[in-house]
Amino acid sequence: MNRVAAIQMTSGADVAANLHEAGRLIAVAARAGAGLAVLPENFACMPKAEADKLAVAEEEGHGPIQDFLAEQARANKLWLVGGTIPIKADDGARARAACLLYDDGGERRARYDKIHMFDVRLPNGESYRESRATEPGAQLVVVDTPLGKLGLAVCYDLRFPELFRGLLDQGVEIVALPSAFTSHTGRAHWDLLVRARAVENFVYMVASAQWGTHANGRQTHGDSMIVNPWGEVLDRLPQGIGYAVAEIDRGEQAQLRSTLPAIEHRRL
């Protein structure tokens, strides 16, 4: 049960095809002994335009994508972080990027709505305005699981260390980070940021990613990885479709937090 998997996909605009591929990869990760699997951001739909996500957005608690996640967790007897899926927002014009957690019986245990929106103009000319179709969330989420206290964060959240300090204040030990980092920013910062968040907070990072070229022409970086609290990459998948898998050792984590008590030494 101490083994975790970060699943890597190249999702497209066809929801049914994406769910089929996700189901295949979850089953493979389960056969590899994973007690927790993390799907990437937008695993069920990477459409040609951000606004197209509204067409597949589901009501809270109901819909084929949510049913799929519950069934996959139950059938494979693992805890499952469902990347992000679009859940209808109150204003009707946008959706929430909801990261859903299911236990090994298929019961939903948590929902985290991505807080930080990727509204940027990159040096290479790429431009994104995620907030046009996605309404940001506001609440941090940490959940008790058999592997430890699990915190949820999504992609662009990685650039905001105060979010991870907030999770730490709630006792987080493992962070699931579904992502779809661009190829441009991923090459420069992905490895650095994932490892920094692990070391700063002495947490395990289970960072799942999109990889490759998608229907909208966007290129994502990949490099799904699992990082321990010392900043060591336990396993990674630089390119391609598949997963990274590694063991969580909470005893080692507790010893590290005790012998190098930087968390207790905070003054600000």
Q: How far apart are CA 13 and CA 94, in angstroms?
A: 18
- CB count, 10 Å around CB of 187? 12
43 in Cβ contact with 155 (< 8 Å): no
Among 21, 114, 130, 135, the one annotated catalytic: 114
Which of 200, 220, 218, 219 shows the shortest CA–CA distance to 210? 220
Among 21, 41, 58, 173, the one annotated catalytic: 41
Q: How far apart are CA 99 and CA 113, in angstroms?
A: 6
- CB count, 10 Å around CB of 24? 11
Amino acid at 107: E
Among 53, 58, 135, 155, the one annotated catalytic: 155
- Residue 45 annotated as catalytic: no
- Residue 41 annotated as catalytic: yes
Q: How far apart are CA 231 and CA 10, in angstroms?
A: 27
Show which residues are catalytic. Answer: 41, 114, 155
